[in-house]
């Protein structure tokens, strides 16, 4: 009998997830610190390139390196790369124009958009409870971006930043839908590896629009961005080996606490009342979705226990 690849160790799962979220937030802070001097495409390039060695070492340690190279739908990985790279570039642009907590809060809308896209593209049924959750989440998004709509120079810059982050959120929702289809034919190791490769190649093309030569210290920070992003990706992936997704999902909102602390200490930023109210509504909508998915999972489990023969 082969040893199972997963086990239920909730404390370890939560620890890994929180560490990953802290690293992702720290990486975003590094991006923000460099965003005034470097174009988003250049930052995406370094973020993606230096995550590749970390991912390769991780795949070797898991004995999955060969699986990371084999794909059955190469164009599927290409489009996953296009969507993911677009989302990263838009997020990095938003970080240059908006406070870190605000970018974090708007990003919470991804599950709401994913639910909408799942209904439109995959034909998934959305009943009254989840419709209410979507409405609550969209109201929260509207409250967050409404104060950013204006005509002065500063307001226009903030509006562009909000639109970019909202666009990144929608792109990530498309990524989630795309990955649902991709994992049916290709191994998750291949999805992780080829995304980093595709993002590196696509972002390298932005050099034609002009990159800035970094100092040694700035180059070191860019390398750290990639290494931290790669380690964070591994930690968050590993967390799901030891705990269920429904259990770990609420911990995503710890990023708001991390963003508030880092934003205040590093950039002297604090979230506005509109951001706090809007984020609370989006989080509430997401929690309802998580709860409903958990309930449906229990119902499906009961149905399988009746219909699936065990011998």
**pLDDT digit string (tens) for 279-294?**
999 999 888 877 776 6
pLDDT for res 308: 39
Question: Would 254 be classed as within a structural domain?
Answer: yes
Q: Using alpha carbons, select from 124, 128, 103 the residue that is nearest to residue 180.
A: 124
- pLDDT class of 296 with cuts at 50, 70, 90: low
pLDDT for res 258: 94
Question: Would 291 be classed as within a structural domain?
Answer: yes
Question: Would 176 be classed as within a structural domain?
Answer: yes
Provide the domain count of the chain: 1
Both tokens assigned to 160: 């562009």
Q: Using alpha carbons, select from 44, 68, 304, 77 the residue that is nearest to residue 200.
A: 44
Question: Would 284 be classed as within a structural domain?
Answer: yes
Task: Tell me the C-alpha distance between 91 and 56, whole Å.
Answer: 25
Task: Tell me the C-alpha distance between 161 and 145, whole Å.
Answer: 10
CA 288 to chain centre: 20
Question: Would 57 be classed as within a structural domain?
Answer: yes
Burial (CB < 10 A; 0-12, 13-18, 19+), residue 153, is exposed
Segments forming the whole domain that contains residue 163: 10-307
- pLDDT class of 304 with cuts at 50, 70, 90: very low
Q: Is the distance from CB of 52 to CB of 230 less than 8 angstroms? A: yes
Overall average pLDDT of the 241-265 stretch: 86
Question: Would 95 be classed as within a structural domain?
Answer: yes
Task: Tell me the C-alpha distance between 19 and 29, whole Å.
Answer: 15
Q: What is the pLDDT of residues 126-170, one digit of tens each?
A: 777 778 888 888 898 899 988 877 767 667 888 999 999 999 999
- pLDDT class of 63 with cuts at 50, 70, 90: confident
Q: Is the distance from CB of 103 to CB of 91 less than 8 angstroms? A: yes
Both tokens assigned to 276: 């706090």
Question: Would 3 be classed as within a structural domain?
Answer: no
Residues 6 or more apart from 156 whose CB is under 8 A from it?
150
pLDDT for res 215: 95
Task: Tell me the C-alpha distance between 210 and 202, whole Å.
Answer: 14
Question: Would 250 be classed as within a structural domain?
Answer: yes
**pTM score, whole prediction:** 0.86
- pLDDT class of 183 with cuts at 50, 70, 90: confident
């Amino acid at each position: 009998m082969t040893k199972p690849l997963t086990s239920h160790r909730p404390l370890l799962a939560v620890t890994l997830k929180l560490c990953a979220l802290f690293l992702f937030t720290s990486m975003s802070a590094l991006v923000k610190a460099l965003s005034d001097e470097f174009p988003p495409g250049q930052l995406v390039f370094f973020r993606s390139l230096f995550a590749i060695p970390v991912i390769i070492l991780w795949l070797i340690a898991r004995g999955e390196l060969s699986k990371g190279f084999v794909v059955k739908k190469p164009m599927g990985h290409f489009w996953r790369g296009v969507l993911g790279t677009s989302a990263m570039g838009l997020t990095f642009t938003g970080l240059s124009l908006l406070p870190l907590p605000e970018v974090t809060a708007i990003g919470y809308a991804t599950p709401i958009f994913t639910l909408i896209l799942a209904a439109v593209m995959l034909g998934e049924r959305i009943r009254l409870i989840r419709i209410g959750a979507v409405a609550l989440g969209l109201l929260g998004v509207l409250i967050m971006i409404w104060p950013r709509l204006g005509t002065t120079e500063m307001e226009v810059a903030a509006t562009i930043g909000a639109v970019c982050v909202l666009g990144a959120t929608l792109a990530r929702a498309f990524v989630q839908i795309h990955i649902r289809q991709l994992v049916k034919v290709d191994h998750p190791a291949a999805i992780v590896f080829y995304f980093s490769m595709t993002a590196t190649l696509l972002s390298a093309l932005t050099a034609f629009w002009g990159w800035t030569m970094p100092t040694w210290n700035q180059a070191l920070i860019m390398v750290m961005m990639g290494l931290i992003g790669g380690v964070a990706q591994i930690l968050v992936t590993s967390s799901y080996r030891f705990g269920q997704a429904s259990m770990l999902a609420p911990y995503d909102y710890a990023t708001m606490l991390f963003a508030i602390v880092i934003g205040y200490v590093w950039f002297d930023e604090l979230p506005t009342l509109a951001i706090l109210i809007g984020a609370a509504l989006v989080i509430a909508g997401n929690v309802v979705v998580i709860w409903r998915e958990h309930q449906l999972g229990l119902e499906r489990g009961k149905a399988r226990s009746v219909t699936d023969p065990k011998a």
